[in-house]
Amino acid sequence: MEQSVIQKIRNIGIVAHIDAGKTTTTERILYFTGLTRKVGEVHDGQAVMDFMKQEQERGITISSAAITTTWKDHQVNIIDTPGHIDFTLEVERSLRVLDGIVMVFCAVGGVEPQSETVWHQADRYKVPRIAFVNKLDRPGGDMLQTIDLMNEMLGANAVAFQLPIGSEEDFSGIVDLVEMKAVTYDERLAIVEGEIPEDMKEDAKRMRDKMIEKLADFDEKLMDKYLEDQPIFPEDIKPAARKAVLRLLITPVFCGSAFKNKGVRKLLDAVVDYLPSPIDRGIVLGYDRENPDVTISRKPSWKRPFSALAFKIINDNFVGQQTFVRVYSGELHSSSYIYNSTKEKRERIGRIMRIHANERKEVEVIRAGDIAALIGLKYTTTGNTLCDDEHPILLENIHYPDTVIDLKVSPTSVKERDKLGVALNKMALEDPSFKVRYDRETEETIISGMGELHLDVIVDRLKTEHSVDVEVGKPAVAFRETLSREIRHVYRLKKQTGGHGQFAHIVFRVEPNPGEGIEFVDRVTGGNIPKEYIPAVKKGFMKVVEQGLMAGYPMVDIRFTLIDGSFHPVDSSEMAFRACTELGLKSGIKKDNFQLLEPLMKIEINTPDEYMGEIIGDINRRRGNIDNMRRYRKGSQKLTGSVPLQEMFGYASVLRTLSSGRANYSMEFLRYTPMPKALQEEVAAEKREKK
């Protein structure tokens, strides 16, 4: 009973490049599964999954929306994710908890830059996938060319399981190569199955043979039948294809036009037939918090101890904070208690909700394989593990990318200041790729994000959702500071002002720590500095790290080693050691020991051949490099390279001018890299002037 129920769960994501039709595809799925009575459209702001005001206005998906529906006796939990690179964390954390994905490609655009990003994210989490070539009713739509691009650019081993009947405005249906039937639609959108058109029979047979030949490589029974020229039926093909998908050996490709309601129901059949259940994905591995070398496993079963991962938080005006979780094992009842092993806190579950985008249905229990929202959690944040307190486990956290762009926001009045703080804290809790800090010297609030659009949406939400009136500065690059070489220093703080004075003495070393982040090491022996003062030294170091020393930017990749020191039995205090550390770092690190780092972006540009020279020349002038060129489609090239973010403000309009509006580009953070010395001085001087 239990295993058969879990076997009929599908946790899937709909992912793709922006404007490939992900949300429209999801809306049609909701309609055909009976969850909505009316089809919502992205272009008129009525899409069910895009329920945030900013999503409806812009026609893009920002926040991954979770929804539960059913198809052919299967429970399908769907997460609709953004396509814009600025919201890549939404895709990242969704892939972390999904069992399979439907990758949507535009039949006209083919494999676009963000398609590759999402594909490689899915590779990192080893998520099985099927593909849906959408918009075949559009001029220039070409399914077979898209499959060729998938194989060439993604190494997808993509195999056509369907063929389109007609093209562009004459697209009328699909040929199902598994069943060898034509699927068309009557005036009421009902599926009509019939004979394959005469002019397509030869192509259909050839493509079916190609599909079977590919699948036979991974299935002995099918191979035997194929070699012996025996008849091959759908019941031979489907198990072989499912097995190959689960092992990430092939990507079955389906086709249609979601906007015209064609191909979506067959795509749902494919989700059920080929994508994995939680049982197919198998055990999940975690580790013991007390002993990280000890691996712990959880089998997808109701009877095992409870384990789940919190992958998203949404603050709602009506029910408060909703914490979305993916359950890996066991079961959880409403009004019960649970253990957050990441924070080492006990949490009480108020209510459990199944979510229909912005609508909710309360349930009493969730079990292994489910995705749902928990109401009432106080301490849990994105990436935390929830588990049975008698059987603790710590699951792998979610990878968070670095922020690359800063924006100053100021309340317009004292009254708005408190509202601004509350609103920003709520949004930072919802979105770990969004950071907030307060610069005490300039008394400015600085927000950081993944790109201009990301921060634009944050500011929009501040004004509309949270009713905070703010003034906004210009976007600025989020530089970082680090050290260029090791420094050893001794600093003694001694102040006497009558009564108790202040005394602290430290000997320390600070050095570059490439790729390892910020590290604090205590090497004091013999009690020369009492243990109770060591945390104060660390606090002083961390304060300097947050505020920076050269130009006021946060510091990265530095190791601080406390070697020795001394104290006074009366005049020493935590405050004295904290101040001593701050002053010691400021006096010990000179200007020529610094290195300013800037975000380097990976850039991909799709351009017609005739504009390549000018575009490459322009990127070189921006201190960038193009290091790879390959065919994108006939007459077009994909250029891949890197360029400093500082040089890329306003690039969209420049690219439009250079290419007569025919080229497009995508950027994502690659790494922080040292700035040229001359520019470093310029940036530091500009920052000091503003202060």
Other CB atoms closer than 10 Å to residue 625's CB: what's the count? 15
CA distance 667 to 641: 10
CA distance 595 to 177: 60
Is the full-model pTM beyond 0.85? no
Question: Which amino acid appears at position 59 of this protein?
Answer: G
Of 320, 282, 20, give the one whose Cα is nearest residue 150.
20
Q: How many residues does the chain have?
A: 691
pLDDT at 440 (0 to 100): 65
Structural fold of domain 2-281: Rossmann fold (3.40.50)
Of 402, 408, 681, 673, give the one whose Cα is nearest residue 550.
681
CA distance 316 to 322: 7
Q: Six-digit token pair at 53?
A: 């005001």
Give Cβ neighbours of residue 377 (< 8 Å, ≥ 6 apart): 310, 321, 323, 340, 347, 349
Helix H or strand E encompassing 506: strand 502-512
Q: Six-digit token pair at 569?
A: 């039995």
Please provide the CATH number assigned to the domain covering 284-395: 2.40.30.10
Q: Six-digit token pair at 2?
A: 């239990």
pLDDT at 421 (0 to 100): 85
Q: Six-digit token pair at 110?
A: 């083919």
Structural fold of domain 482-589: Ribosomal Protein S5; domain 2 (3.30.230)
What one-character DSSP code corresponds to residue 433? T
Sheet containing strand 284-287, strands side by side: 295-298, 284-287, 394-395
Domain 597-690 in the same topology as domain 405-478: yes
Q: Six-digit token pair at 508?
A: 């320390």
Please provide the CATH number assigned to the domain covering 405-478: 3.30.70.870
8 Å CB contact between 609 and 637:
yes
**Any idea what the Cα angle at residue 105 is, between residues 159 and 271, rounded to 5°?**
60
Other CB atoms closer than 10 Å to residue 566's CB: what's the count? 13
Structural fold of domain 597-690: Alpha-Beta Plaits (3.30.70)
CA distance 218 to 157: 13
CA distances to 444, 486, 489, 525, 588 from 573, in Å: 31, 28, 21, 19, 22
Sequence ranges of the domains in the chain: 2-281, 284-395, 405-478, 482-589, 597-690
The packing angle between helices 220-227 and 198-216, to 10°, is 130
pLDDT at 466 (0 to 100): 82
CA distances to 114, 525, 561 from 492, in Å: 54, 18, 16
pLDDT at 690 (0 to 100): 62
pLDDT at 145 (0 to 100): 92
Per-residue HEC secondary structure of 434-455 comes to CEEEEECCCCEEEEEECCHHHH
pLDDT at 572 (0 to 100): 92
pLDDT at 82 (0 to 100): 58
314: helix, strand or coil:
strand
Of 627, 573, 589, 623, give the one whose Cα is nearest residue 605.
627
pLDDT at 300 (0 to 100): 93
Mean pLDDT (10-residue bins), the chain, 691 residues: 87 83 83 68 42 37 60 86 54 79 91 78 88 94 92 92 92 95 87 92 95 94 90 93 95 94 94 95 87 88 93 75 90 92 92 73 91 90 90 82 82 84 83 78 77 82 84 86 92 80 94 90 92 95 89 89 94 94 90 85 89 94 92 80 90 89 82 88 73 55
Q: How far apart are the first and last CA of the chain?
A: 67
Q: How far is residue 397 CA from its own chain's centroid?
A: 13
